[in-house]
Every structure is written in structure tokens, then in C-alpha cells.
Amino acid sequence: MNLENAKKIMLVTVKWIFICALTGIISGSASAFFLVALEWVSHYREHNNWLIWLLPIGGLIIGLCYHYYGKDVVKGNNLLLEEYENPQKIIPLKMAPLVLIGTLITHLFGGSAGREGTAVQMGGAIADQFTKLFKLDNSDRKTLIIMGISAGFASVFGTPLAGALFALELLYFSKISFKSIPLSFITAYVAYFTVEFWEVKHTHYSIPIIPEMNLTHLFWVILTGLLFGLAAMLFSRSTHFWGALFSKTISFPPLRPFIGGIILTLAIYFIGTTKYIGLGIPMIVDAFSNPNTPYDFLLKILFTGFTLGAGFKGGEVTPLFFIGATLGSALSLLVPLPIALLAGMGFVAVFSGATHTPIACTVMGMELFGIESGVFIGIACIVAYFSSGSVGIYKAQIVKGAKYHLYQKVKSTAMELL
């Protein structure tokens, strides 16, 4: 290698490290602000439950904002996946403030949604703006989108390893370039430490008792992993069902969250509790020590699928944590494994099944609960991944590999039998 080539490689390396730093710092700061604002609106709503009656108005505001100002970004996370697979144009920066405001409104007035979608969309939109600034081509744009997703995920959950792996695994079958791998990890850690710098805290969970793995425990882990996968399938299909139903029956988009808000408000009133709305963090934390009722996870699936299907904004991942943790907690009444371990397994395994990302979810479990739980969590995530069906929460995600071939074989066999 001559001196000229060495200089070029050095300049390219410095450029990309600089882009990683910019993406991580800006996305991490945006996530820090979002987390603080989200905690404030959630706390305010909890102490002013009358705000839930304004949920239809909040939905109308979100619908009007996206209808008149955000038609080109309304697809959210799916737009990021589509632009990665088939680059067309730079993602508008307005995606970031629109999803931020929409998510805060959703949580302020009592919608059931998460936060990962917001952070990922903000990270992706911010990262893609560097395309023009640094005169990057479509191949480099793909790397930027991966960096944005990893920054958003890592910063909002405080899991940098899982954040980087999530971005890579989510887009794995859309073909990723080798250089995206180290850049994804660098950006994730910069975003993570940025949130730490702003002194924004994440929720901590623990699994105090980890039994030894044996054949009996393996049987129960596989069985519960299967149930977690089925719960993930139910959630994904529920969200898509409500979205399709609202699109089919209500032609004017802003009216969808308005009418959906009316139905949600009445449902919350008649059910007599607010524990299935918002993020549901208190319920998740409680699931690690107290058994849940068997219907808690089902009601969260219903409320979240309906909220997002109606057009409210937010993510799916924290509700998936809720669904998995409460289902695992409820299973502790029947399954001879520690309640915290079952809740922790469900926490990440349902997420694994719904997003087709078992590796990232296994690593996330070890980051959150400790490496000692890794074997139990890893098996649960893999089983949930294979048992959750071929449809996940992201319609634009390309699903191939062993899981894809398995379901194609099952489908063709079923067709032959019929």
C-alpha cells in the first residue's frame, strides 16, 4: 500500500468516525429530551386522569398534522426499511419532530404505545441528513440508516450492544455492507453515553435466582418460548388488523385516531383501570415479583394494537416488553421456574418473535438482566422467533433464512394436504 492510498483510507476513516459521533450525539440528545418529556407527560396524566377524555382530540391533532404536513413520513419505521432496501430520496427531517410530538400527545392523553419507534425514527431521520452534507451515495445512505436505527434504539433503552445488533439484524436480509458493522456499534455507544451524559436514567430490572440448566428446565423454557412466540404473532397480526380495518372503513385519515380515541376512552372508562395504557412500566416491574392475571397480556395486545392501528404514534417494543413480562409472570403459577426469570424471558422473547431479531434480543436480555441468564433467555428468544410466524410488526422488513424456508415448507405441505 502506497502513501497516497494510506492517506485516503485515513481520511475516509476519520470522516466516518466524525459522522458516527455527530449521529450518536444528536440522536442521543434527542432521545434524552424525549425520555424526559415522556416521563413528564406520563406522570402528569397519571395525576390528571381527566385528560383521557381528551384522547379523541389528541388523535385528531395527530391525524391532521400527518395528513397536511407528514404524508411522506407517515409510514414511520417502515419508511426507514423501504429506503434502505430501495433508496429513493433522503428521509425528511420533519419525521423527527412529527413523531416526537405525536408520541407525546398519545401518552399525554392515555394511548397505549411505546417509545422505540419514536427514537428509531428520530435517529434515522437525523442520520440521513448527512447524505447531502458529506455527499454520500446510496450505498453510504444505507450505512447511515443503520447507524440512525442503532443510535435511537441504544439510547432509548440504554442497551448499546443490543441497539447495534438490532439495526444490523433487522436489515440483515436486505444485505448489509461490512463497514456498517463497526459503524453501527460506534454510533450506538456514542448515543448511549450521550444519554448518560445528560443524566437520564433507564429502568432497571433484575433476575435474582438463576437455576441450573437441565432437561426438565429445558423442556419448560422451550414450551414457554413457544407461547411467547404465539403472543408475538397475535400482537403483530392484531396491529396490522386494526390498521387495515381503520384504513378500509374511514377514508379521511385524521378521523381514524379521532374515532379510535373515542372508542379507547370509553373502553378505559368501562374497564375501570389505566394500567393497560401508556408504557406500562410499573406493571412490567411488578411482573418480576408478583404473578399477573392470565388476561393482562391479552388486554395490552388489544389496547396497543388498537391504539397504533387507529393512527396514534409511538413504538411497539415497550408494549411487547409488557406483554412478554406479564405473560411470563402469569405462567409462573404453572411453570416451575423463578417468576423473575420467566418475566425476563418473556420480556425479550416476545420482542424477538415480533421483530425477527433473536440475537439482538438475547444480547439485550443479558445487558438488562445479567449474563447469567443468557442460556435461558437465548433459548426462549430462538424458540419464540421460530414460532411467531412470518409476519412481524414491520411490514417492510424482509424475512428470509431458516425461518422463511421453514414457513414456506409448512405452507406448501398444508396446501398439498388440502
128 shares a domain with 185: yes
236 shares a domain with 127: no
Would you state the cell numbers that stand for residue 364, as one nine-digit string?
439485550
Domain boundary among 152, 168, 197: 197
**Quick one: pLDDT at residue 230?**
98
Domain boundary among 167, 197, 227: 197
Q: Is the pLDDT of residue 416 over 70?
A: no
Question: What sign does the dihedral 395-396-402-407 (CA atoms) show?
Answer: positive
pTM of the model: 0.95
Q: In total, how many domains does the chain have?
A: 2
Helix axes 160-170, 180-197, angle to 10 degrees: 140
274 shares a domain with 161: no
% residues pLDDT > 70 (the chain): 95
84 shares a domain with 219: no
Q: Examine residue 67 and state whether it is found in any structural domain, yes or no.
A: yes
Q: Examine residue 105 and state whether it is found in any structural domain, yes or no.
A: yes
**If you average pLDDT over residues 46-50, what whole number do you get?**
96
Q: Is the pLDDT of residue 110 over 70?
A: yes
Q: Examine residue 210 and state whether it is found in any structural domain, yes or no.
A: no
Domain boundary among 134, 169, 197: 197
Range of the domain at 187: 3-197
74 shares a domain with 13: yes
**Quick one: pLDDT at residue 406?**
63
How far apart, in Å, are the Cα atoms of 218 and each of 212, 213, 335? 10, 7, 12
**Quick one: pLDDT at residue 405?**
63
Task: Please report which helix (H) or strand (E) contains residue 294, including its range.
Answer: none
Task: Give the gyration radius of the chain's Cα atoms.
Answer: 21
**Quick one: pLDDT at residue 413?**
66
Q: Examine residue 269 and state whether it is found in any structural domain, yes or no.
A: yes
Q: Report yes or no: 156 and 31 within 8 Å, Cβ to Cβ.
A: yes
240 shares a domain with 173: no
Q: Examine residue 393 and state whether it is found in any structural domain, yes or no.
A: yes
219 shares a domain with 168: no
225 shares a domain with 189: no
295 shares a domain with 186: no
Q: Examine residue 367 and state whether it is found in any structural domain, yes or no.
A: yes
186 shares a domain with 233: no
Phi and psi angles of residue 198, each rounded to the nearest 5 degrees, phi first:
-80, 0
Q: Is the pLDDT of residue 12 over 70?
A: yes
Q: Report yes or no: 378 and 348 within 8 Å, Cβ to Cβ.
A: no
**Quick one: pLDDT at residue 68?**
97
Work out the mean pLDDT of the chain and round it to a whole number. Answer: 95
- Nearest CA to 281 among 308, 311, 317? 317
**If you average pLDDT over residues 224-250, what whole number do you get?**
98
CATH for 300: 1.10.3080.10
177 shares a domain with 300: no
Give the span between the Cα atoms of 345 and 327, in whole angstroms: 10
Q: Examine residue 178 and state whether it is found in any structural domain, yes or no.
A: yes
Q: Examine residue 415 and state whether it is found in any structural domain, yes or no.
A: no
